[in-house]
Structure 1
Amino acid sequence: MHLDMSTVLGISFWMYLLFGITSLPWGMLADRLGPRFLLFLFYIGSAVSAMAAARYVNSPSALTISLAALGLFSGIYHPIALGMISREIRQVSLAMGYNGMFGNVGLASAPLLTGLINWIWGPAGAYLLLGGMHVIGAAMTALLPITLLSETTEEATETSENGNLSAFLILLVAMMLGGIAYRGATVVMPAYFELKNQGVTHFFSMMIGRELPGNLVATFTTSLIFFIGILGQYAGGRIGNRFEPRYSYLVFHAITVPAAFLMGLFHDVPLLILVFIYTFFLIGMQPIENTLVALFAPKRLHHSAFGTKFVVTFGVGSFSVKMVEFVEKNIGIEATFPVLGGVSVFLVGVILYLIHHTSKNPEQPAQ
């Protein structure tokens, strides 16, 4: 399509926005109606939207609408799935870690598969593959039984039901800032690596004896980075299950700050090392964060709580796409990660306040 970076970001904006802001109404529906039907709707709606994107891939306006619909239906997944995990499984942090690991298999595979399919069949092929995978998911959801213990057993005690509203609101601010950092990083990574990893591209081209497209190497690198995130998710799930989750959350985010600032100064192999560190901890904190949501939110409203989380992380966080677009056009793409590092500095401050706010009674979230 030969579109510049700012135009691509503009086309994807509504998808990211709707992906986030629809999470709360989807979560509220799940708390009232249950999660089963909504899981099926997620797969069917996403399949139709992806196939529409394949059909209109050469029309920027129609592609924008198709991707917006994809974001709308994709917003169903997180509040429904994470709410089910938090209500049905005892070792919440560990389960969140495993869920995140499989999610990151998808994140890691997507750039690589998309790059390869785009190289061979063009962008429409990538959207057709996505639609086909959602059709398979819809079939599995319809055919496989889902038994929810919360529908057949008594609810937990009143104390564990109440949560801690003030702590949850503070956590929402932290998650919003984390969403800005995460979305900004994932959006800019492929273009950033294509620009800053030219030495790596040249090395692999020499190794195989033919010139490789820079975008193919960049998408492969992005996939590798998300595989590092899988290890981070596993570590985060284990650590959040063993240690106090508030302090674990603080440490994981604090480590991302120096890595983000240094990423603006290096290229090729040193840059990759820094990105591995950044991604390991930025993605690895997610099971810990989800454990804190489950800890502070009322259990009867867990779907809505996770929906609220993704409104602020992916909905408000989607404005980082506009922020990255502004930085790229006015300062340069090299400044994007230092700017995201500045966001993480504020995030660490909010987590410190959360720890202070809850320090009087850390063992009992309900007051």
Structure 2
Amino acid sequence: MNNPRTVILYMNIAHFIDHYAMLVFAAAVIVMAPVFGMSYADLLPYATPGFIAFGAGSLLTGWLGDRWSRRHMMVIFFIGIGLAMMAVGLTQSPQQLSIALLAVGLFAAIYHPVGTAMLVAHADKLGREVGINGVWGNLGVATSALITGVVCQYIGWRWAFVLPGLAAVMAGIFFMSKVKHEARGSRKAASTTTARVSKDAMWRVIVALIITIIASSTTFNALTVALPKLFTERLADLTSNTALIGLIAAGTYVFGAFAQYAIGHLLDKHSLKTLFLPLAVVLAPLLFLGASLSGIPLVLVCIGIIIGIFGQITVNDAMIGKYTSDEWRSRAYSVRYFLGFTAAGASVGLVAMLHERGGFTLMLQALGALCVLIIVAAIAFPNEERSNA
């Protein structure tokens, strides 16, 4: 039997790699666009197929994780995403770039339904481990912007893909040697409390979850894709250095990591609705406020948005973990991430379209309107009946 701490460590590393890989292009596109003789708005949509595959592919990968082997699927994840990233660094045309980014998205689709289910199956305290795992993913987002900015500035954009690709392959080799295949059901998640809602109220859980997943995932992806460019435009009075812009973006994401860690611990002590509602309420007002800001005030508002959106993602993942059994958990997460990342994939084109028509003012206002739906979903979410396990 595998050591639970070893499995959880590699699932955390995988979460880091997953988000890091998906956002390298978002930071590098600013430098890459002139190389390909294109504008930011023209080159950015070439990432759309990869982001759609990130979501749509989760249906198949979640099914394979439950029916075949989560461990084997994670080996494919580490090696595949590493090779795909290196392929992006070797592309010579926008068409090749789109195909390579599609491959990154397909391999990235493995982690969330398979890796999250694998982590939950070995977790002692669900909320804590989901929260810590979220921190690792958040740090992947943060360091992607930072490291990509530095590498693009001083080495070149191709190395921004090749180097992390090599690191992912090495992580996969270590994972293969440390983690073996386990028969399903050899472990199950433990928790100090159980949480349930009445059968009559389950439809409210499902509807609230679907609305929240679509709205929060669209907002999350649109913001993480757009943040480097947003800061490049609206922090122009402070700096024009690509590496420093990446550092500011990374610093913003770090606050999201703190939020996920705190929310994860609170989820083991409080009901989902107690945390769901306040996180939902902060997003829409901050997005509307940020639409008209620049400089340091914009950075502060973006920190608040990041805290709200990353905290919400932790609640969404815990919701699935609490309400599904282990044998179905990969498939449940696959549906969750299919909805979330498919909506998120469409947000890449949305960012490009709204930026071209009304700049980031229009984009942030549109996301603010979308996040009003999360408030409605949080209000509709039923209260839990909690008891000692």
Fold in common (TM above 0.5): yes
Q: Residues of 1 paired with 2:153 and 2:335: CA distance?
A: 38
Asked whether the 8 Å contact 1:36–1:146 carries over to 2, the reply is yes
Q: Residues of 1 paired with 2:110 and 2:90: CA distance?
A: 24
Q: What does residue 330 of structure 2 align with?
A: 303
TM-score after normalising by structure 1: 0.88
1:315-348 alpha-carbon deviations (Å, 9 max, x no partner) = 1221111222221111222221121111110121
**Of the candidates 329, 337, 342, which is equivalent to residue 356 of structure 2?**
329
**Of the candidates 104, 113, 126, which is equivalent to residue 92 of structure 1?**
126
Q: Structure 2 matches for 1:162-311, cutoff 5 A?
A: 166=203, 167-201=205-239, 213-311=240-338
Return the letter of the residue paired with 2:376. Answer: G
Q: Residues of 2 paired with 1:163 and 1:8: CA distance?
A: 49
User: Could you tell me how far 1:101 is from its partner in structure 2?
Assistant: 0.9
User: Could you tell me how far 1:102 is from its partner in structure 2?
Assistant: 1.4
> Which deviates the most, 35-44 or 279-288?
279-288
% identical aligned pairs: 21
Q: Alignment RMSD, CA only? A: 2.4
Q: Residues of 2 paired with 1:155 and 1:199: CA distance?
A: 51
Q: What does residue 132 of structure 1 align with?
A: 166
- Tell me the SS of whatever aligns to 2:169: helix
> Which deviates the most, 28-37 or 81-90?
81-90
Q: What does residue 18 of structure 1 align with?
A: 53
Unaligned runs of 5+ in 1: 202-212
Asked whether the 8 Å contact 2:256–2:311 carries over to 1, the reply is yes
Q: Residues of 1 paired with 2:197 and 2:378: CA distance?
A: 22
Return the letter of the residue paired with 1:247. Answer: T
1:279-337 alpha-carbon deviations (Å, 9 max, x no partner) = 11211222222111112334321111111111111112211112222211112222211
Q: What does residue 52 of structure 1 align with?
A: 87
User: Could you tell me how far 1:5 is from its partner in structure 2?
Assistant: 2.0
TM-score after normalising by structure 2: 0.83
1:158-213 alpha-carbon deviations (Å, 9 max, x no partner) = x9999976323541221111111101111111111111112221xxxxxxxxxxx4
1:225-248 alpha-carbon deviations (Å, 9 max, x no partner) = 111111111111122222111231
> Which deviates the most, 16-25 or 169-178?
169-178
Asked whether the 8 Å contact 2:146–2:246 carries over to 1, the reply is yes
Unaligned runs of 5+ in 2: 1-31
Q: What does residue 153 of structure 2 align with?
A: 119
Asked whether the 8 Å contact 1:46–1:134 carries over to 2, the reply is yes
- Tell me the SS of whatever aligns to 1:285: helix
